[in-house]
Structures are given as structure tokens and as C-alpha cells.
Amino acid sequence: MSEAEIQELRALLEEVNRLQRTLRHAEARHSDTIAGVLPRHRDSARNLVHYAELRRHDIRDLQSGLAKHGLSSLGRTESSVAQGVDTVARTLARLVSRADLPDVAPDFIDGEELLARNAVNLLGPEPEDRGTRIMVTLPSEAALDPGIVHGMIERGMDLARINCAHDTPQFWRQMIANIRAAEDSTGKRCLVSMDLAGPKLRTGPVLPGPRVLRIRPVRNETGAVVAPARVWLGHRPETGPAAAVIPVEDETWAADLREGQTVSFHDARGARRTLVVEQTGPEGCLATLQDTSYFVPGTRLETVPESSSGKKTTRKKWTSTLVGDLPALEQSLMIRRGDTVILSRDLTPADSHTVGRHRIGCTLPGVFMDVKPGERIWFDDGKIGGIITEARADGLTAEIVSAAPKGSRLRAEKGINLPDTRLTVPALTGQDLADLEHVKELADIVSMSFVRSDADVRDLLSRLDPELDRTLDIMLKIETVAAFEALPSILLELMKWADVGVMIARGDLAVEAGFERLAEVQEEILWLCEAAHVPVTWATQVLDTLARTGMPSRAEVTDAAMAQRAECVMLNKGPFINEAISMLADILSRMKDHTQKKRSLLRRLRAWDR
């Protein structure tokens, strides 16, 4: 080895030694915090402090120098930071001195083993054929149809997610009863995670439109009918065929019809139309329609019963009923760039006919005091964006700077994001506290939404009894920029509880951080949680197109493969959810032997054998 090379190694050693000292100083500064976590998490807390300190420095030049000499570049030390740095320091010292030095090893922690243990404790055993668990959001129908849950577990669901923002405690109980029954019949374990809704900002109501139902047949490019429209007259049973439901005032009238009979009516435009009965049942009948029709409450439906000879009877024996109550059409505000939107404390339904200047209510007006002019505001998962021009206690005014070229529709109950605003509203709402009592009784995991600081975590822990609630595990949803920026302190506070995890809720997080920054942010969350040995759930829109339409996009298949680096992946609900579960399980199984976190696994490839 030349003298120049030795000088290079000596300079690298000095830099690594400086890095060692900064890690020790950081640990000393945070010694009280480290001592405050549960004993089983202390090594993890210490490693998290080391990693956070390491990432405060730009060590790219150091990495290049180490790699040049065939040494570890410290690029994969998340799970055991001090050990990785100390090992490089000892190796450099030996190379510089050209002699064997006493082998004084650092305190050893097996970070990968700690993470694997924590993942099992929180998410259940690792599946046989893959390293990543699958969580699935349950639809409301899972409370009514046990077969839905049974099919999901059979396909590979390891955890079921119940969103407390929807349904009722009675529905939640029935969903979980169906899960337990499916466990018994399949022999597979399925944990239950329940999400507290949190302080979700949403738009207020919009004035409803007319009570009218438009029914259209399927037509080809030339306008010819290729499939008739199907409607169910009466009260459709839960197992009824897929069709639009038209309630009628006299359900016995619909139930008494026979297959092949015709029903005549004049629709809301006065056009005469005819329905043909296709199928009957005790609660109504299924009928087909060849022409576009508009039904309104009070539309008279009438039919002529046939005699035994097949001839129509006299006019006097025509029977009829009226169309019953129909839901009002959902309306929306058409928002264009340059428009003004006023968010109001008043939840009076908004007028959908406004142009240029719109008013709509906000379900959480407590945030108005936190907002400042110049801050950004986003609506409906980032589809509409604006800048706050005025902030008052009774409302906010925003100038719209981002919308579709022809305008974007803003409906009721759409999400509102304020990425630049430091919100002071508590992460646990009054409804969350009420729901938490049910969660304690029913769930394996409580998932906390819209966490922004360690104070939010402290608030949740104060609501739990370490003895009475010790079997309830905690998962934090990281979906705000504030939570991302405070993640080290959030994790250290979380480590005061036994079994814990993090969910990367990429929907709101993408809106808050910006879509162009999402890939970077989700990577950094994965790294930091690996340093804390905290298992991660990768969530939002995984195989979403497949779950909704039955056909995946190429991009989301790649996304699903990337998700293998997390300990769990969450799927949302959809009519093709079973197909999505099967595909995800297959993807995760294939990727298991190729990657582990950031490290590529070089298994033998057979593709090029020939």
C-alpha cells in the first residue's frame, strides 16, 4: 500500500472518528428521553437517536472514500448505526497501523432481529410464503355477509381494517364476529385494526338537486342499444341482482307481476316508456328498459294483467302504483382557476349555481384561528388548490390557483388540507374518545389518525391503562408534513407503549407534501422507522385500479412490489378486492427473495442460464 493511500485512509479514519463522537454526544443529550421509553425499546431508542444524528450530516464524500477502498459506505446501517460506524473505524485503524489491533467490539444489537420481533408482536406471524403481511379495509357489507370476510382471509388477508369514520359500533361488532367465524373455518389468524377518524377537515353540505333518477340502456358508438337498462321495482332483497332500485308505494303490486308482463308509464319529460318484467320475487320484480327514462316521485306505473287466453283485459282492470321517494341528485360547485372560495363556519347548504365566488361550510371551523394569509389550501385530495387571502374567526377566503382546465367539481364531504398551517386542534376528537371505548373492547390495534406531534401521542397514551389495555397495540398514521418533520420525537414517545407501528398514509401525505415529494418522504419514513425498529404499513391506493375495476395498471404493480420493504401493505375496498389480495400476495411472495429493505438480495437467477 502506497504512502498516499495510507494518508487517504488516515483522513477517512479521522472523519469517521468525528462521526463517532457526534453519535455519543447525541446519545448523551437525549439520555433522559432514552431512559423514558420501555426497557425493551431502549436499544431501539438509542439507535434512533444515532440515526437521526447521522442524517444531520452530509457524509456523501466520506461514503465515496470508503467505497473506493472496498469498505462499507454506511449506506445500509439503519438498524444498527453505532455498530456500523464503529466497525468501519476499527477496520480503518487496522489498515492505517498495518498491524492487528485489539478487537474491541461495540455493544452489539441485532436491529434486524428486533424489527422482526416487533413486527410479529404487532402484526402477527410472518406468512409462510412472503415476508409482508396484507391488511384490507372492510366494506360495510362485511357486517352483513360473512362470505366477504371468509373470502378475503382465504385469499391472504392477515389483518382487517375497520374505519370508525363509517358505520356504527353494531356494524363493527358484526364484522369482527364474522372475522372470528372465518378464523375458525379457515384455521388462519386475522388481527383487527380499528382507525379513529381524527379531526378530518371536510367541506360542508351542498343544496341537493331534484329527486330524479335517470336510467339509460347501454348503446354502441352509433347509438344502437346493445344491452337494456335494468331496474328493480320495489324493495330489493340483499341478494337481489345488480340494478337501479325504483321504490314503489305498493310493493305488493310489483310482487304480483309475472315474467313477460309490460309496465307502461310517462317519464318526467312526458315520454311514453315501457318496462318488461324479467324476474319476480316476494319483494318486487326486475324489469328491463330499452329507452332512456327519467323517474320522479309520483310517476304512475301501470300494467294490464293478461287473461288465461293471453288476451288483454278491459281498461278497467288495469292496475297501477306510484313511484315512491327517490334520493335527491348530489350537486357540486364548479370551481375554476381565478375563482374565490369562502370557507364558512356556517354549515347552511351551499348554492351550486354560484359563478366565480363560492361559499361552502367547513366541518372543523376551529382551524380558522390557526390559518394565515399566504398559506396553501387543497380540496378533494389535491384536485383543487388555492392560496388563503383572508383569515377570520368566522371564515377563510382563498383564491383558486389550481383546478382542471375546464373546472373541477367540489362536492360535500370532500377533504380539506392545510399543509402550511400549524394546527392546534387536538388529534383526538370527542367522537374519537367515544369510539376508543369500543376499540379497547373489540380490536387488536388502535390506529390514530392525523398525528402531528409527540404531544398527540402523549394524549393517546394518557387515555390507555397499561394494565387494563395492555393487549391493545398502537399504530400511528403519518399523513401530515408536521408529523413527518416531528417523526423522531413521535417515535420516541410511542416507545413508551409495548407494541407499536406506523402507517404511511400516502393519500393525505401526498397532498400535504406535494406529489413530487411523496417518493422522497415515504422513503425517509421507512428509513427512520427501520432505525427505531418500528414496523411499517404501506398504505393508500395499492393496486387500487385492480380493486375497483378488475384490471391493474402497470405503475401500481411496480408500486406493490416496492411495498415489500414494509412489514405490512394495506389494500382499500373495492368490488374486485379478492383479486387484488391474490395478486398482492403473489407479488410479495416473488419479491421476498430479491429485496430486504434497501438491500438487494442476490439469489441465483435462472433466467439467463441458456
pLDDT at 598: 74
pLDDT at 606: 66
Across 99-104, average pLDDT: 57
Q: What is the pTM of this model?
A: 0.83
pLDDT band of 238, cuts 50, 70, 90: low
pLDDT at 263: 95
Residue 296 and residue 543: Cα distance in Å, rounded? 39
Across 504-520, average pLDDT: 91
Query: What does the mean pLDDT of the chain come to?
Result: 91
Residue 125 and residue 123: Cα distance in Å, rounded? 7
Write down the H helix ranges in 79-134. Answer: 81-97, 111-123
pLDDT greater than 80 at residue 595? no
pLDDT greater than 90 at residue 98? no
Of the listed ranges 168-177, 245-254, 450-459, the least confidently predicted one is 245-254
Of the listed ranges 4-13, 166-175, 305-314, 497-506, the least confidently predicted one is 305-314
Across 336-342, average pLDDT: 97
Percent of the chain with pLDDT over 70: 93
pLDDT greater than 50 at residue 496? yes
Q: Which three cell numbers stand for residue 101?
A: 489491533
pLDDT at 309: 52
In eight-state DSSP terms, residue 105 is: P
| Domains of the chain and any CATH numbers | 3-109 (no CATH), 115-199+426-594 (3.20.20.60), 213-322 (2.40.33), 333-417 (2.40.33.10)
Q: Which three cell numbers stand for residue 260?
A: 313477460
pLDDT greater than 90 at residue 209? yes
Of the listed ranges 32-41, 45-54, 278-287, 579-588, the least confidently predicted one is 278-287
pLDDT band of 602, cuts 50, 70, 90: low
pLDDT greater than 90 at residue 100? no
Pairing state of beta strands 568-571 and 133-137?
parallel
Higher pLDDT pick, 501 / 256 = 501
Concatenated DSSP letters for 359-418?
EEEBS-GGGGGG--TT-EEEETTTTEEEEEEEEETTEEEEEEEE--TT-EEE-TT-BEE-
pLDDT at 551: 92
pLDDT at 317: 63
Percent of the chain with pLDDT over 90: 82
> Which of 201, 133, 200 lies closest to 477 in space, CA to CA?
200
> Which residue type, as a one-letter code, is found at position 548?
R
418-462 pLDDT, tens digit per residue, is: 999 998 999 999 999 999 999 999 999 999 999 999 999 999 999
pLDDT greater than 90 at residue 228? yes
Across 54-82, average pLDDT: 92
pLDDT band of 596, cuts 50, 70, 90: confident
> Which residue type, as a one-letter code, is found at position 463?
R
**Number of H-type helices and E-type strands within the chain:** 18, 29
pLDDT greater than 50 at residue 297? yes
Residue 126 and residue 110: Cα distance in Å, rounded? 18
pLDDT greater than 60 at residue 490? yes
pLDDT at 306: 60
Signed CA dihedral, 487, 506, 205, 401: sign only: positive
Higher pLDDT pick, 110 / 373 = 373
pLDDT greater than 60 at residue 196? yes
Residue 393 and residue 365: Cα distance in Å, rounded? 8
pLDDT band of 3, cuts 50, 70, 90: confident
Residue 447 and residue 457: Cα distance in Å, rounded? 11
Q: What is residue 303's three-state secondary structure? A: strand
539-559 pLDDT, tens digit per residue, is: 999 999 999 999 999 999 999
Across 155-163, average pLDDT: 97
**Burial bucket for residue 173 (CB in 10 Å: 0-12, 13-18, 19+):** middle
pLDDT at 315: 47
Of the listed ranges 23-32, 296-305, 518-527, 591-600, the least confidently predicted one is 591-600
401 contacts: CB under 8 Å, gap ≥ 6:
337, 385, 386, 387
